[in-house]
Amino acid sequence: MICAAAGFPRQRADEVLATVGLTPAAKRKFKGYSLGMRQRLGIAAALLGDPKVLVLDEPANGLDPEGIRWMRDLLKALAAQGRTVLVSSHLLSEMQLLADDLVIIAAGKLVRQGTVDDVMNSMAHSAVVRVRTPQADVLTAALTELKATVTTNGDGALLVGGVDAPGVGRAALKAGVELHELTMERPDLERVFLELTAGKAAIR
């Protein structure tokens, strides 16, 4: 129906349905489509005119993990064809995997714009050192003397801020503390987003 109303041949409808994996369901009624299938159909409709710029709002909504991966691969393939694909989404972990460039908006105002690497690197100071030791109290005291911040997460590891991994290692050696784990944890996009928009986003 959409294809006919827009003046496209039936062949084009078949092509875009195949692109989004809906060929087996082509003859089913729309009301029988799941939310994920409706998302796919919406993308098919957007592709009818073979656009150079594609704008999608929450395209992964309603998709299962397999469908989300399919969506990611499809959008990357469309971008590889030279198209511009703009995606609005709150699935930040998915955007970190998918996007080349990010635009972060809070309360209608631009907060940060740049490549994924640029945005992530701008918050490199938020990286923490993850430490496991049977002598947590001793190490915490030693790190506190270095003005480091030390917190404990749910699995018993220490999260250290303000001191890099080599610094934590030196403090442990000096204090005679045995370490079972010493790794850097860089913030993911969700954490970066929350830090950049702290106090700016409207409550919903």
Are residues 60 and 94 in contact, defined by beta-carbon separation less than 8 angstroms? yes
* Rounded Cα–Cα distance for residues 58 and 36 (Å): 11
Average pLDDT, the chain: 87
- Identify the CATH number of the domain defined by range 2-99: 3.40.50.300
Find out if CATH 3.30.70 is the number for domain 128-185.
yes
The predicted structure's pLDDT at residue 7: 62
SS3 74: helix
Q: Which residue has the higher pLDDT, 66 or 173?
A: 173
Are residues 42 and 19 in contact, defined by beta-carbon separation less than 8 angstroms? no
For residue 2, give Cα distances in angstroms to 46, 53, 67, 138. Answer: 10, 19, 23, 68
- The full set of domain ranges for the chain reads 2-99, 128-185
The predicted structure's pLDDT at residue 174: 96
Are residues 195 and 140 in contact, defined by beta-carbon separation less than 8 angstroms? no
pLDDT confidence tier of residue 1, bands split at 50, 70 and 90: low
Are residues 106 and 197 in contact, defined by beta-carbon separation less than 8 angstroms? yes
Are residues 165 and 182 in contact, defined by beta-carbon separation less than 8 angstroms? yes
pTM of the model: 0.68
Q: Which residues contact 173 (CB under 8 A, 6 or more apart)?
A: none
The predicted structure's pLDDT at residue 102: 95
Average pLDDT over residues 106-129: 86
pLDDT in tens, 51-63: 999 999 998 888 8
Strand partners, 56: 87
The predicted structure's pLDDT at residue 124: 66
pLDDT in tens, 139-192: 999 999 999 999 988 788 999 988 889 999 999 999 999 999 999 888 888 888
For residue 93, give Cα distances in angstroms to 79, 98, 118, 136, 189. Answer: 19, 9, 16, 31, 6
pLDDT in tens, 190-201: 888 888 888 765
The predicted structure's pLDDT at residue 181: 95
Average pLDDT over residues 86-105: 92
